[in-house]
Amino acid sequence: MLINDKPHDECGIIGIFAPNEDVARMAYFGLYALQHRGQEAAGIAVSDGVMARVHKEVGLVWQVFTPQSLASLQGHYAIGHTRYSTTGSSSIRNAQPFLLETQYGPLAVAHNGNLINTAELRREVLARGAGLSSSSDSEVITMMLAGAEGDTWEERIRNTMPKWRGAYSVVMLTRDSVLAVRDPWGFRPLTVGRLPSGGHAAASESGALRTLGCNAIREVKPGEIITLSDTALRVRQALPPVTPLARCVFEHIYFSRPDSFWDGLSVHQVRQRLGGELAREAPAAADVVIAVPDSSVPAAIGYARASGIPYNDGFVKNRYIGRTFIEPTDSLRRRMW
Amino acid sequence: MLINDKPHDECGIIGIFAPNEDVARMAYFGLYALQHRGQEAAGIAVSDGVMARVHKEVGLVWQVFTPQSLASLQGHYAIGHTRYSTTGSSSIRNAQPFLLETQYGPLAVAHNGNLINTAELRREVLARGAGLSSSSDSEVITMMLAGAEGDTWEERIRNTMPKWRGAYSVVMLTRDSVLAVRDPWGFRPLTVGRLPSGGHAAASESGALRTLGCNAIREVKPGEIITLSDTALRVRQALPPVTPLARCVFEHIYFSRPDSFWDGLSVHQVRQRLGGELAREAPAAADVVIAVPDSSVPAAIGYARASGIPYNDGFVKNRYIGRTFIEPTDSLRRRMW
Amino acid sequence: MLINDKPHDECGIIGIFAPNEDVARMAYFGLYALQHRGQEAAGIAVSDGVMARVHKEVGLVWQVFTPQSLASLQGHYAIGHTRYSTTGSSSIRNAQPFLLETQYGPLAVAHNGNLINTAELRREVLARGAGLSSSSDSEVITMMLAGAEGDTWEERIRNTMPKWRGAYSVVMLTRDSVLAVRDPWGFRPLTVGRLPSGGHAAASESGALRTLGCNAIREVKPGEIITLSDTALRVRQALPPVTPLARCVFEHIYFSRPDSFWDGLSVHQVRQRLGGELAREAPAAADVVIAVPDSSVPAAIGYARASGIPYNDGFVKNRYIGRTFIEPTDSLRRRMW
Amino acid sequence: MLINDKPHDECGIIGIFAPNEDVARMAYFGLYALQHRGQEAAGIAVSDGVMARVHKEVGLVWQVFTPQSLASLQGHYAIGHTRYSTTGSSSIRNAQPFLLETQYGPLAVAHNGNLINTAELRREVLARGAGLSSSSDSEVITMMLAGAEGDTWEERIRNTMPKWRGAYSVVMLTRDSVLAVRDPWGFRPLTVGRLPSGGHAAASESGALRTLGCNAIREVKPGEIITLSDTALRVRQALPPVTPLARCVFEHIYFSRPDSFWDGLSVHQVRQRLGGELAREAPAAADVVIAVPDSSVPAAIGYARASGIPYNDGFVKNRYIGRTFIEPTDSLRRRMW
């Protein structure tokens, strides 16, 4: 591999088809609502029905996009991505979406998940004479589809999906469509909803869809390919769901926004119930229940409610803690925070 | 005036005399703990006993300071400032601390508050042939002291204080001392504490002092001038406290960190009691008590406790909302958030 | 095409194999000496014998590279590129070198010239299922070689060269070699020389090689593939030179540095002789011969010498004219400069 | 002193009163034409007849000013400054123009030269209770005028000038005037001219005035105060010229643009004559005369003409040498350039 990166599991992705809207701006605010899922890099690819363009950079969503860079992304079809940082070294080479010109026209891919047979898939792609410019699973997915057989993108995806082993919730942009695809194990979340001005959107979390005003929100089910359209969604079960499903438990515990729904369950409620269950399984003789914000607040409230011990707030996050270049001295470090 | 600015009441200030420490770094982390009091600009002035230097810029604390800019601030005496933004246009000209060379040596001032007789004071300064480079109260204070009579900085401050009408909690840096001064009405908070490695620190909030490991924390009382020293503090009552005091109620309600103490009271506890009092004065037939984070969380918990209505969390702040250059479309704006 | 760019003929390229040197730093100073051939973007790719890395960005050479970015480029094999700007809109997507992982290991390409059958070559690449991420000829060249047949890179290049129609002076980086290739028409210059510390370098102009201290400088002849090595160069005539050659006359007139040699001729001397010839073909009754700097200075001196009319300097370039964001008013524009 | 800086002799200054023009933009292009006199910092101060504003930063003229920063400088009166860098460390604190609010209204000063009694003048300013924020002579000059006696700015300048010992060519901006002042020794150049659209401009060099389309260009004579006006200039001989004058010889040899006039002499012609004189005083048996560009080109041509030895060009400056962060290796350094 050119670059040896750790897996990046917790990205945020969004896809939009809105025939009457400035999709780049919608994608921007959708990514903003998914910023907690990835702070390393962000990108948006847009097609106007003829040509596709992408803008992506290392940084937070608000740092990556300016009015100028958004203005260059005209069109009605968009996908976007925020990338999770697991290491200090981050690279623009692995930023998403990946946009390629293919024999079937432009194709852009934004991917949340981690394939386990990447090495094998890379060898397959390289062996047919295609070169790869990054270590990203997303580029492998894009390049496989560039060489896939089938008359439509849906067919090419369906023909290729059986080769992908592992977690993949994916949104794809073609010249004139946006597709949402989820692996048959259902590792990572992916939801779709109807936009009030017409068209549809897909996003990692239902909270981002509600930010855009969506209604009729449903999950992309394991193994499904959904094509966003002006009116009804076109849903195809490309692969049968694997039994049992292999959902990532950290989505409910940690990654997801509390206002998201996932497996038909409110993340906020699941966290409260987990807290209640903890109170029953691990009772404590305490005066107060205090959460470490933010994810554990509902669990602490649930614990307090089930145990009868009063809840109180004891920690507040410094909202300006960002990215400091300054190291505390040793004596400071020992007594700070 | 050269620039017509609105009053800036809620700044954060810090002063440090630490004979055995890198004070610039301590001031940096002190300002970090006060970042919530001002996000427009930040600055630190340091003296090594011979020469004073300042670094200040528009931006958040972590943006303003790099290892290089901190390294240029060597010494044992420091003051710092974070500036509150009340308007979109912010200017480096009004950033603090203000550092001047005077006939008595270098003098830097960082000021939290708002004088009401600024126009009159400016005329007085200009009339004696001194020019002013900004619209900042802080520069007026500095320039008045540059021309004040007295054998020591304490005397010059005491001689000048009667002219200042309004709110001023101030830290000052001279060639070889750091002073903390508070107006006789006691509008704005100011506290001092002892550093574990020797020396003392002053800060707008006790929370920032605890970040630096301080103990023996006390308030600077209305009308006091306190000189930070290696061993004991030198405290002088320059002006008698005005009765009744005129404390800013928003410190307890909104501005201060919940872990700060102010008037001998925990900000967190005051907020909880206000919530309890609200439950008694304005009872509600409700199913749940929900806070709008962050300041009102303790009040909501207090309300819930007093009323018996269960507390729950219903809002989560997007921690990445910072500074976006992108405006939502009208249709988006109507349905977002 | 994803992006519709104008041809970029006048780029600067450099290739270095230096077994005992920090090649990234050498490539940097080589590009600096070629900066006049392209100011839009710059990049360097380096291999340490195992892994190849690239750093490229929009900007001048000194803007693109910092000590940090150069330090990440460790190795003994390097190629570099400066890109010429023909339009205001410049894109990182078309910056060079292009680096791909292929079935044969890493391959990076930096290209000066313009193929005339690019559209046909792109279709060929896309048809075998490889996607393209830019409109750059250089990516097409790289992707064609990623799928070429042959046991060595030299063989794969030789097998592919007959398909490339047009101007191409190319340097290539593989895991453990640097190659220099020139089209059989000889459109664009390319030279190689021996480094004093061992190894060789290739560059668009001999002036850049002399900056690096090279001696034994010779041209890469039309149709040649030259592999840089520790000791002797390995030279292979891959295609017979086309008769007559089709050299770009603007290299002698305009693009090249006056200290470069090209076709065995000093660029400076050619310009002086052109001036002398102009004096004979177009004599003028004038008092003084004045050049418009910089390229025409030798021609004006040649004209003066042949005509007997004294040479003088009459124009000086403002050395700080760079990149201004400010437009003059109409009234200013009419009378400026 | 707060900051211990070396003298800065070779700055560029400009002053404009143009009742019918966007003076900030004119000042910008005037500074651009003076960029060779100072590359460290640049600034422009403008008055609209009511309020004065300044924008200044470290950097080249094109880096310091954006359309936004220029747009904030509305008015008909302007002065500008480019600052010469004699050390690596440059500071925004010493950037010019200096703008102060005074008892007489706003006053901004841009200064080319170096006073020799600065220490004494600083003590005088500090003693009357005014503080100083930089080590710049320019601030001292401004602060002295802020406390000077007299009914008009002309009178205050005339009353203060006798105290200034050393080189000073100064432009000043008040609420509703622009003044040009030159020391009685005539160390540094300063010229004025009439703008074609009405009003006048002053600049360090006549070349900058011609860039703005000026005609009727004359020098500000030693000891003069000239007030720019709509119609005729108001010229006042504030101090008698010192005999003999003490002109800086490096202006003719090195600093000035060759198209500037100075002491009634063309800089270009002086350089050519110096070359001719050198040929007579130091004849050489040589084949060719070569200049080290740019300043010595006219001298070399003059030498060639007087000696009969042919002139040729032998060096070309790399126009992209700017500001590189990269150090060559030792082995490279020994053989580069």
State residue C177's pLDDT score. 96
β strands within chain D, DSSP E: 12-17, 41-47, 52-58, 77-83, 98-102, 105-115, 166-174, 178-182, 191-194, 200-203, 215-219, 224-227, 234-237, 261-262, 265-266, 289-290, 311-312
SS3 B46: strand
pLDDT at B2 over 70: no
Instruction: Please report where in the chains the tokens 């060789």 appear, as a residue.
Output: C200
Cβ of residue B72 closer than 8 Å to a chain D Cβ: no
pLDDT at A137 over 70: yes
Measured between beta carbons, the chain D residues lying within 8 angstroms of B143 are 129-131
State residue B160's pLDDT score. 98
Contact A328 B25 (CB under 8 A): yes
Average pLDDT over residues D269-278: 96
Q: Burial of B312 by CB count in 10 Å (0-12 exposed, 13-18 middle, 19+ buried)? A: buried
Q: What are phi and psi of B279, to 5 degrees?
A: -60, -35
Residue C157 pLDDT grade (very low, low, confident, very high; cuts 50, 70, 90): very high
**Of the candidates C67, D311, B207, which has an alpha carbon nearest to the alpha carbon of residue A318?**
B207
Q: Which helix (H) or strand (E) holds A146?
A: helix A137-146
Q: What is the pLDDT of residues D216-232, one digit of tens each?
A: 899 999 999 999 987 78
Cβ of residue A308 closer than 8 Å to a chain B Cβ: no
Residue with the bigger pLDDT between B227 and D59: it is B227
The answer to whether chain A touches chain D by having 3 or more C-beta pairs less than 8 angstroms apart is no
Beta strand pairing status for C289-290 and C311-312? Answer: parallel
The answer to whether chain B touches chain D by having 3 or more C-beta pairs less than 8 angstroms apart is yes
Packed helices A137-146 and A153-160: angle between N→C axes, nearest 10 degrees: 120
Contact B316 A257 (CB under 8 A): yes
The ipTM assigned to this model is: 0.87
State residue D323's pLDDT score. 52
State residue C3's pLDDT score. 35
Q: What is the pLDDT of residues B126-180, one digit of tens each?
A: 999 999 999 888 999 999 999 999 999 999 999 999 999 999 999 999 999 999 9
Taking the C-alpha atoms of residue D11 and residue D80, their distance in angstroms, rounded to an integer, is 11
**Range in A312-321, C223-232, D77-86, D269-278 with the lowest mean pLDDT:** A312-321
DSSP alpha helix (H) spans, A212-320 = 250, 267-281, 297-307
Q: C-alpha distances in angstroms, C319 versus B122, D5, D39, D257, D322?
A: 45, 26, 11, 11, 10
Q: Which helix (H) or strand (E) holds A171?
A: strand A166-174
Cβ distance A315 to B293 under 8 Å? no
Q: What is the mean pLDDT of chain B?
A: 89
pLDDT at C124 over 50: yes
Measured between beta carbons, the chain C residues lying within 8 angstroms of D297 are 313
Cβ distance A189 to A252 under 8 Å? no
User: What are residue C17's DSSP bridge partners?
Assistant: C77, C200
Contact A147 C133 (CB under 8 A): no
Most confident of the following: B324-328, C6-10, C218-222: C218-222
Radius of gyration of chain B (CA): 21
**Both structure tokens of C270:** 């050619």
Q: What are phi and psi of A3, to 5 degrees?
A: -135, 135
Nearest to B325 among A66, A259, A297 (CB): A66
∠ CA C131-C135-C141, nearest 5°, is 70
Cβ of residue A335 closer than 8 Å to a chain B Cβ: yes
Contact D132 B101 (CB under 8 A): yes
Residue C283 pLDDT grade (very low, low, confident, very high; cuts 50, 70, 90): very high
**Of the candidates B35, B60, B28, B75, which has an alpha carbon nearest to the alpha carbon of residue B204?**
B35
State residue B324's pLDDT score. 61
Which B-chain residues 100-129 have CB contacts (< 8 A) with chain A? none
Residue D331 C-alpha, separation from nearest chain C C-alpha, in angstroms = 8
B201: amino acid identity, one letter: A
Contact C146 A131 (CB under 8 A): yes
**Both structure tokens of A287:** 């005066």
Average pLDDT over residues C154-160: 98
Helix, strand, coil share (%) of chain D residues, nearest 5: 30, 25, 45
Residue C145 C-alpha, separation from nearest chain A C-alpha, in angstroms = 8
Average pLDDT over residues C191-216: 94
Cβ distance A35 to A156 under 8 Å? no
Taking the C-alpha atoms of residue A281 and residue B35, their distance in angstroms, rounded to an integer, is 41
- D11 catalytic? Reply is yes
Taking the C-alpha atoms of residue B110 and residue B180, their distance in angstroms, rounded to an integer, is 10
Average pLDDT over residues D90-119: 91
**Both structure tokens of A38:** 């990835």
Residue D336 pLDDT grade (very low, low, confident, very high; cuts 50, 70, 90): low
Cβ distance B27 to B159 under 8 Å? no
Residue D193 pLDDT grade (very low, low, confident, very high; cuts 50, 70, 90): very high
pLDDT at B76 over 90: yes
Packed helices D297-307 and D267-281: angle between N→C axes, nearest 10 degrees: 50
Cβ of residue D54 closer than 8 Å to a chain C Cβ: no
Cβ distance C205 to C256 under 8 Å? yes
Write down which chains contact chain B via at least 3 CB pairs under 8 A.
A, D
Cβ distance A157 to A173 under 8 Å? no
Contact B1 D101 (CB under 8 A): yes
Q: Burial of B128 by CB count in 10 Å (0-12 exposed, 13-18 middle, 19+ buried)? A: middle
Cβ of residue C315 closer than 8 Å to a chain D Cβ: no
State residue C101's pLDDT score. 96
**Both structure tokens of B274:** 């206000």
Taking the C-alpha atoms of residue A266 and residue A251, their distance in angstroms, rounded to an integer, is 11
pLDDT at C1 over 70: no
Residue A28 C-alpha, separation from nearest chain B C-alpha, in angstroms = 8
Beta strand pairing status for A41-47 and A98-102? Answer: unpaired
Residue D88 pLDDT grade (very low, low, confident, very high; cuts 50, 70, 90): very low
Q: What are phi and psi of B143, to 5 degrees?
A: -70, -35
pLDDT at D304 over 90: yes
Of B11, B170, B180, B209, the active-site residue reads: B11
> Which residues, 6+ apart, have CB-to-CB distance to C2 below 8 Å?
A51, A52, A53, A99, A101, A106, C93, C132, C133, C134, C135
Sheet containing A98-102: which strands, arranged edge to edge?
A98-102, A105-115, A166-174, A177-182, A224-228, A234-237
Residue A324 pLDDT grade (very low, low, confident, very high; cuts 50, 70, 90): low
pLDDT at A249 over 90: no
Looking only at Cα atoms, what is the longest distance across chain D?
A: 67
pLDDT at D157 over 60: yes
> Which residues, 6+ apart, have CB-to-CB distance to C149 below 8 Å?
C155, C156, C159
Residue D2 pLDDT grade (very low, low, confident, very high; cuts 50, 70, 90): very low
Could you report how far apart the first and last alpha carbons of chain D are, in Å?
41
Nearest to C29 among D66, D272, D336 (CB): D336
Cβ distance A188 to A249 under 8 Å? no
Taking the C-alpha atoms of residue C8 and residue C26, their distance in angstroms, rounded to an integer, is 25
The answer to whether chain A touches chain B by having 3 or more C-beta pairs less than 8 angstroms apart is yes
B313: amino acid identity, one letter: D
pTM for the full predicted model: 0.83
State residue B229's pLDDT score. 80
Residue with the bigger pLDDT between B322 and C184: it is C184
State residue D149's pLDDT score. 96
Average pLDDT over residues D136-140: 91
pLDDT at A303 over 90: yes
Instruction: Please report where in the chains the tokens 């290991």 appear, as a residue.
Output: C105
- DSSP code of residue D19: T
- DSSP code of residue D88: S
User: What are residue D52's DSSP bridge partners?
Assistant: D47
pLDDT at D337 over 60: no
pLDDT at C248 over 90: no
Average pLDDT over residues A242-266: 87
State residue D59's pLDDT score. 86
Residue B5 C-alpha, separation from nearest chain D C-alpha, in angstroms = 14
Ramachandran assignment for B263, one of left (phi > 0), alpha (psi -120 to 50 degrees), beta (any other)? left
State residue B262's pLDDT score. 85
Q: C-alpha distances in angstroms, D219 versus D169, D172, D174?
A: 11, 17, 22
State residue B10's pLDDT score. 77
pLDDT at A255 over 60: yes
Residue B244 C-alpha, separation from nearest chain A C-alpha, in angstroms = 33
Residue C4: count of CB within 10 angstroms of its CB? 7
Cβ distance A23 to A75 under 8 Å? yes
The answer to whether chain A touches chain C by having 3 or more C-beta pairs less than 8 angstroms apart is yes
pLDDT at D172 over 50: yes
State residue D247's pLDDT score. 85
Nearest to A146 among C3, C123, C131 (CB): C131
SS3 A264: coil
Closest chain A residue to the Cα of B210, Cα to Cα: A336
Q: C-alpha distances in angstroms, D93 versus A309, B110, D27, D56, D279?
A: 59, 18, 21, 10, 47
pLDDT at A90 over 90: no
Residue with the bigger pLDDT between D59 and D49: it is D49
SS3 C228: strand
Provide the number of CB pairs (under 8 Å) joining chain A to chain B.
143
Average pLDDT over residues A76-104: 82
Measured between beta carbons, the chain C residues lying within 8 angstroms of D313 are 258, 268, 297-298, 301
Of D8, D9, D11, D233, the active-site residue reads: D11
Residue B146 C-alpha, separation from nearest chain D C-alpha, in angstroms = 5
Looking only at Cα atoms, what is the longest distance across chain C?
A: 67
Taking the C-alpha atoms of residue C298 and residue C304, their distance in angstroms, rounded to an integer, is 10
Residue A50 C-alpha, separation from nearest chain C C-alpha, in angstroms = 9
Average pLDDT over residues A222-232: 91
Cβ distance C80 to C37 under 8 Å? no
Provide the number of CB pairs (under 8 Å) joining chain B to chain D.
87
State residue D6's pLDDT score. 43
State residue B3's pLDDT score. 35
Measured between beta carbons, the chain A residues lying within 8 angstroms of B276 are none
Measured between beta carbons, the chain C residues lying within 8 angstroms of A1 are 101
Closest chain D residue to the Cα of B106, Cα to Cα: D2
Cβ distance A258 to B316 under 8 Å? yes
Nearest to D2 among B3, B98, B101 (CB): B101
Q: What is the pLDDT of residues B300-320, one digit of tens each?
A: 999 999 999 999 998 887 766
DSSP alpha helix (H) spans, C225-329 = 250, 267-281, 297-307
State residue A327's pLDDT score. 72
Q: What is the mean pLDDT of chain A?
A: 89
Measured between beta carbons, the chain A residues lying within 8 angstroms of B62 are 320, 322-326
pLDDT at D197 over 50: yes
Nearest to D133 among B2, B123, B133 (CB): B133
Residue D65 C-alpha, separation from nearest chain C C-alpha, in angstroms = 8
Average pLDDT over residues C111-135: 95
Q: What is the pLDDT of residues D56-86, one digit of tens each?
A: 998 889 889 988 889 999 999 999 999 885 5
Of A8, A10, A11, A136, the active-site residue reads: A11
**Both structure tokens of A99:** 């946009």
pLDDT at A199 over 90: yes
Average pLDDT over residues B61-74: 90
Nearest to C320 among D35, D197, D329 (CB): D35
SS3 A145: helix
Taking the C-alpha atoms of residue A46 and residue A76, their distance in angstroms, rounded to an integer, is 7
